[in-house]
Structure 1
């Protein structure tokens, strides 16, 4: 029997949107991509800027074994533009989170991010996961808007549940998507006829 994390940990691609399993070879490309938006790191749980980068990169890599993470480098063609992860993959309960996502400003807000999430959601469902969660700092309005566009449900907010690297105690919005909701939506997209 195949290890569920091994099945989940596969490269994904559609056109120029590529998700490669993150390795040491992605370190410098990701460092450069993360430096493109220094202000955003104030609302992330950890910083990936300057002297914080290597420690955070190494910590996330260690989560693969200890916390059931699958780490991806996000590429636009051949260029590293960010990172994303499957987090706390629980094959017994068929639940995982997509998060720890950062993509450079030039690929935000358009079809690139949507395709990246679609690839991850489709693959998670094929691997047998029936519930996909997104956990977002409530200060991150842009990310909450992006996941709402996917048709996920805001299921509630955990108040003061995480202390970020700056010492800020954040509130976390929980969004959930069920496999059958996603399948129904992608097989029967809403009509645009007026």
Structure 2
């Protein structure tokens, strides 16, 4: 269950989840710029100068396994495994952004299915998701995967805008996963 084992290419037809590399930077910058308003409810800013700052932070984060999300060879977003804990069998999937062109399709479901199945295949037995409670679309998507709402952390995180958010916590156990 090593971090390196999580960082592998995952493929479902034209949907690819690729370990994040230098060749993904420009595509991710373009994808992030496709929905300027959504960044108000994200903990970080991936627009303009904020993109460069976060990209530098990406490389300094020890507990993240980052991916570029691609559709038909084009970068349309990002997601990560966060703080994998092999000794506890837990990993979080988060830091997800998907551009509007593939929202409302089965793209996110296919990406998350690949990531969930890979984490379980690597020996993890619990996957966590945390979502800003203002992000109703993401909360619905996580529940559609079969994750259970386990509670809400009230006023637990300050976003880049200064807003102090509430965070919904969801969990998915291996034995609950229906695929």
Query: TM-score higher than 0.5 here?
Result: yes
Q: Report whether the alignment pairs 1:136 with 2:131.
A: yes
Q: 1:92 maps to what in 2? A: 87
Q: Which segments of structure 1 move beyond 4 Å, counting only runs of 4 or more? A: none
Q: 2:60 maps to what in 1? A: 62
| Contact preservation (8 Å) 1:41, 1:48 | yes
Calculate the TM-score normalised by the size of structure 1: 0.90
Q: 2:13 maps to what in 1? A: 15
CA pair 51-160 structure 1, distance change in 2 beyond 3 A: same
| Contact preservation (8 Å) 1:61, 1:71 | no
What's the CA shift for 1:48? 0.2
Two-structure CA RMSD over aligned residues (Å): 0.9
| Rounded Cα–Cα distance in structure 1 between residues aligned with 2:56 and 2:22 | 9
| Rounded Cα–Cα distance in structure 2 between residues aligned with 1:123 and 1:25 | 23
Structure 2 portions without partners, runs of 5+? none
Q: Report whether the alignment pairs 1:174 with 2:172.
A: no
Q: 2:36 maps to what in 1? A: 38
Calculate the TM-score normalised by the size of structure 2: 0.98
| Rounded Cα–Cα distance in structure 2 between residues aligned with 1:177 and 1:82 | 23
| Rounded Cα–Cα distance in structure 2 between residues aligned with 1:43 and 1:61 | 23
Higher Rg of the two aligned structures = 1
| Contact preservation (8 Å) 1:109, 1:146 | no
Q: Once the two structures are superposed, what CA deviation does each residue of 1:133-191 show, in whole Å capped at 9, x if it has no partner?
A: 00000000010011111111000000010000001100000000001110xx23xxxxx
- The number of equivalent residue pairs is 179
| Rounded Cα–Cα distance in structure 1 between residues aligned with 2:7 and 2:84 | 11
What's the CA shift for 1:106? 1.0
Q: 2:69 maps to what in 1? A: 74
